[in-house]
Amino acid sequence: MKTVEEARMLAKTMVNIGNKLGRQTIAVMSNMNQPLGRAVGNSLEILEVADALQGKGPDDLMEVSLELGAWMLVAGDAVPNVGAGKTCLRQSIKSGSAWNKFLAFLTEQGGDAQAVIDRRLRVSPWNLPILAEETGYVQPFDAHKIGILAMALGAGRVTKESPIDLGTGVILTRKAGEWVEAGEPILQLYGSNKEMLAAGLKLAKNLVEVGEEAPELPPLIEEIIQ
């Protein structure tokens, strides 16, 4: 959804459908103006998931994940309220049970859990940093354009027949509102080959903006609809 009102309308519609069918339905409206976390791309995101499940994930990814997970526990009558749900989830991360359950899921589905433990997932050797041309605050990214950039690098399909390179994508070294010095990286691009990396470079140049003023960022959680 491109606007808050469009998202609210969709959320209310889905909640009403679920409730009329006798299912407790809850919608969490979260801000997606920029990607959650710092990774965009298949292997890159799984490596970030591994960090998150071990308590080392980016703050925004952790905040939204805990919110969603806590409401799921509420809906399943496992906890009395969202606060208790978040406490439960934090304990599962701290104890290692969340990480171990994830590894068990991988194994049950025929995946190589040890490859994730050892961080042996394929990441493209073709990579390039996008550097800040001036010092200041990183201005808001356009999440849709970041998605187009990742696709151009090989992380998504242009058509349904297009192959996906699991090792490609984008790392947001700096996110909106963060301080960056001139010459420091803001984005790190991972492409299927040098031609895709060159195409990605052209797109990325239009995505990066640094300003003197810190941007006013909306809250991550906009609204809860029940």
Q: Looking at the structure, do residues 68 and 19 belong to the same domain, yes or no?
A: yes
Give the count of domains, the chain.
2
Q: Looking at the structure, do residues 82 and 132 belong to the same domain, yes or no?
A: no
Q: Looking at the structure, do residues 107 and 10 belong to the same domain, yes or no?
A: yes
pLDDT attached to residue 2: 81
Q: Looking at the structure, do residues 89 and 161 belong to the same domain, yes or no?
A: no
The predicted-structure confidence for 4-45, as pLDDT tens digits, reads as follows: 999 999 999 999 999 999 998 999 999 988 899 999 999 999
Percentage above 70 pLDDT, the chain: 100
Q: For residue 149, what is the enclosing H or E element?
A: helix 143-152
Which residues, in sequence order, are CB contacts of 207 under 8 Å at separation 6+? 130, 141, 142, 145, 146, 149, 187
- In this predicted structure, the answer to whether residue 211 has a pLDDT above a threshold of 90 is yes
Confidence band for 137, pLDDT divided at 50, 70 and 90: very high
The predicted-structure confidence for 39-89, as pLDDT tens digits, reads as follows: 999 999 999 999 999 999 999 999 999 999 999 999 999 999 999 999 999
Q: Looking at the structure, do residues 132 and 77 belong to the same domain, yes or no?
A: no
Q: Looking at the structure, do residues 84 and 154 belong to the same domain, yes or no?
A: no
pLDDT attached to residue 206: 84
CATH number at residue 144: 3.90.1170.30
Note down the domain range covering 146: 126-211
Q: Are 106 and 113 in contact (CB under 8 A)?
A: yes
Q: Are 13 and 29 in contact (CB under 8 A)?
A: no
Confidence band for 182, pLDDT divided at 50, 70 and 90: very high
